[in-house]
Amino acid sequence: MSTTERTWQGPSAPERLSLLRQAKSIAIVGASDKPSRASYFVATYLQSSTRYKVYFVNPVVNEILGQPTYASLADLPEAPDIVDVFRKHEDLPGVLDEAIAAGTKTLWLQLGSWHEDVARDAESAGLNVVMDRCVKIEHARFHGGLHLAGFDTGVISSKRQVLG
């Protein structure tokens, strides 16, 4: 089997919607204070457009979007319902270990992040797993805020959109 072949099956759209609806808190592991980073964009969206309590996990930054950061999941004041991961592939097994120890319910790996061994280990530990999907895009899709390319451009136009 090649390393790029995907055999693990993630939750369906209704199951992902249920995970998002049940969650009250999300911890972003690998959160960044740099506006050019995807984690910053997702953090901004979660803070401004959702009801979630959002925690930022980054051991080298003191504050992101006006909130304190935490060095690890173990330092959070509560077990987050979803751990949204923005870390390198080789870091994912360690993040899973932290997530299990922290008592999270769902491990969510962002777009482009896929690790079948981590997914199987997480499920064996009783966690829900979502891989290669963006929390922001999924939340917006389920809540009417998704437009072309997955983003609300804010552009109002009388021109017909051409899908190609």
CATH number for position 109: 3.40.50.720
Q: Considering the domain boundaries, does residue 86 fall inside one?
A: yes
CA-atom Rg of the chain in angstroms: 16
Please tell me the predicted confidence (pLDDT) of residue 42: 96
Pairing of strands 25-29, 63-64: unpaired
Q: Considering the domain boundaries, does residue 5 fall inside one?
A: no
Q: Considering the domain boundaries, does residue 2 fall inside one?
A: no
Please provide residue 56's backbone torsions phi and psi, each rounded to the nearest 5 degrees.
Answer: -110, 125
Contacts of 103 (CB under 8 A, 6+ apart): 79
More confident residue, 3 or 122: 122
Contacts of 72 (CB under 8 A, 6+ apart): 57, 59, 98
Contacts of 164 (CB under 8 A, 6+ apart): none
Q: Considering the domain boundaries, does residue 97 fall inside one?
A: yes
Quote the tokens at residue 103: 């008592």
Please tell me the predicted confidence (pLDDT) of residue 156: 47
CB atoms within 10 A of CB 130: 22
pTM for this model (two decimals): 0.85
Q: Considering the domain boundaries, does residue 161 fall inside one?
A: no
Structural domains in the chain (count): 1
Measure Cα distances from 118 to 37, 65, 74, 81, 96 in Å: 24, 30, 19, 18, 7
Evaluate if residue 146 carries a pLDDT over 80. no
Domain coverage including residue 113: 13-150
Residue 162: pLDDT band (50, 70, 90) is: very low
